Amino acid sequence: MNPKVFNSKLVTEGIAIQEMLKLLRLYNEVKDYKTLREIVFRENYLAKNSDIRIENILEAFRKRFLSGFDLPPPDILGKFVESNLSDAAKIQVLLPYYIYSDCLLKFTYFELVIKNLKLGEGLSISHSDVLNFLTSISKKNNIRKWSKNLKKKWATRFLTFLRTFRMLGKYPDAKLRKIHLMPTTFAFYTLWFTSNGLSFQSVLSHEIWDFYLLTRDEILEAAYYGNKRGWWIIETSGGLISFQPNYTIWEWIKHGME
């Protein structure tokens, strides 16, 4: 994947993870983007001094959670965010929404993080590494027209993204870390995909697990852990795996996940 046109909206939108969580909670209440938008401006719901910043955050929210990426819709996601789980668990499920909503973020993540981490441990990533990557791909797309300052800002946002999802420690730590997938993240997506007609075998090979840097064995381990928790029933016979959920995703969020 190397599109001819990339955008730099990550710079103006920011990662804004706490704002995304807050807006998802509000969406869970109002179930409508227009109403949400009105409340945000009327009540200064995000506690921002700039209307432009609020617009950028709302645009990021709309793009990430209202664009229909075959992921759980914002009402389900909002209900999950309203749960008693830790903030770390709530944040972790948002990773695919960020990746699917930004082509350059996805491309850079695959090339600089996923591919490198598959090579082994002890790898690092710096601001210069991201800048050099942008330069290396710019000959075939519009990034060649970006100013140096814009590239620097985008690289900073990318590192913030990695830190937000715990693939980098606090600055100046530059060591890449493999995500520790929480059982609730695996269950959230597994119950969603299977309830929408995807076979369990297809779920096990879904690209979303690449985002979380899971091996096949780790995917199966997560699946069997869910079986132990009683979230679903897994049986194996002749090399085939059968899957029977004990909850719908709504039931699991309300009654089953804790």
The pLDDT tens digits of the residues spanning 173-205 come to 899 988 999 999 999 999 999 999 999 999 999
DSSP-derived letter for residue 252 is: I
pLDDT band at 117; cut points 50, 70, 90 = confident
Q: How many CA atoms lie within 13 A of 184 on its CB side?
A: 22
pLDDT at 139: 86
Domain spanning 1-178 has what CATH number?
Answer: 1.10.3540.10
Widest CA span in the chain: 62
Q: Which of 15-29, 75-89, 120-134 is least confident?
A: 120-134
The pLDDT tens digits of the residues spanning 219-252 come to 999 999 999 999 999 998 877 889 999 999 999 9
**Mean pLDDT, rounded, of the chain:** 93
pLDDT at 123: 86
pLDDT at 258: 67
Whether pLDDT at 99 is above 70: yes
Whether pLDDT at 121 is above 80: no
pLDDT at 64: 97
Cis peptide before 73 (omega within 30 of 0): no
Q: Which of 101, 29, 26, 24 is nearest to 60 (CA)?
A: 101
pLDDT at 109: 96
Domain assignments of the chain as residue spans, ordered by start: 1-178, 183-256
Residue with tokens 């990557």: 133
